[in-house]
Amino acid sequence: MLELKEVSKSFRGPEGEVRALEAISLAVEAGELVVVHGPSGSGKTTLLLVAGGLLRPSGGEVLVEGCDPYRLGPNQRSALRAESVGFVFQQFHLIPYLDVLDNVRAPSVARPQPGAVDRARELVRRFSLEHRFHHVPAQLSTGERQRTALARAVLNRPKLILADEPTGNLDEENAAMVLDYLAEFADQGSAVLLVTHDAGAAGRAHRTFRLDEGKLAPTSPVPGGAAVHAGMNHPSPRKARDQ
């Protein structure tokens, strides 16, 4: 579902080049939840932005469902994200003047589909937000904002979910709820890549990695003996269980 092949990203700073990612190779398959841990400044957010077609890498290749978004024009790249990728941001990025229902259904503007309003209503109820249907983000608790953002991310049934510190601002109860939802999406066939400080996320992951100073290393066994490639060419979780 997602492949990063020798992906690097550098930025120009006042003191010269800063290497945020160094030759990252990683594959995330359908039905899999992969967790990446790392300290602040290790490159976790950069990794997700590059993976999601929002930040062009300096080198290497990104494939989403076998397609390199950076070989597409801006409109085609936006269409690929709208169809295949759901983003969950730490800072939520909800539209401040829209209520919960309209925030959840916002992705259907980029990718219109029949029944979007009904599905948005279903998700609002699924995430226990029905009493907040017509509240704007400023009227929500932190946990309610994150659940709204998560519902928005899955409206179009994306095949890939990218989550950036989705529990970073939440109390223990809400954090557990969000992690349960993400694990459920993976069980339903989505590929989920989660970057976080939350040690509790590891217990729900099929594989875990550590990202430090732009370098990725596995911290849990990689099926198929592919640890040297940090996750490339491994059997899917379901295949591994069947074997």
């970073």: which residue's tokens?
A: 168
Residue 55 structure tokens: 């930040």
Residue 23 maps to a domain:
no
| pLDDT of 131 higher than 70 | yes
Q: Give a yes or no: residue 240 inside a domain.
A: no
Alpha helices by DSSP H, listed for the chain, are: 44-51, 74-84, 100-104, 107-110, 116-126, 142-153, 172-187, 237-242
Asked, for residue 88, whether it belongs to a domain, the answer is yes
Residue 243 domain flag = no
Q: Report if residue 168 sits inside a domain.
A: yes
Residue whose pair of structure tokens reads 């704007």 in the numeric block: 136
Q: Which residues contact 99 (CB under 8 A, 6 or more apart)?
A: 133, 134, 135, 136
What's the rounded Cα separation, in Å, for the pair 94 and 106? 10
Low-confidence winner among 185-189, 219-223, 229-233 (lowest mean pLDDT): 229-233
Q: Is residue 63 part of a domain?
A: no
Is 144 contained in some domain?
A: yes
CATH assignment of the domain containing 47: 3.40.50.300
What is the residue type of 226? A
pLDDT at 97 over 70: yes
pLDDT, position 6? 95
Number of compact structural domains in the chain: 1
Structural domain of 148: 30-56+71-220
Question: Is 131 within the bounds of a domain?
Answer: yes
Burial environment of residue 179 by CB neighbours within 10 A (0 to 12, 13 to 18, 19 or more): buried
State yes or no: pLDDT of 28 exceeds 90: yes
140-169: pLDDT as tens digits: 998 899 889 999 998 888 899 999 988 877
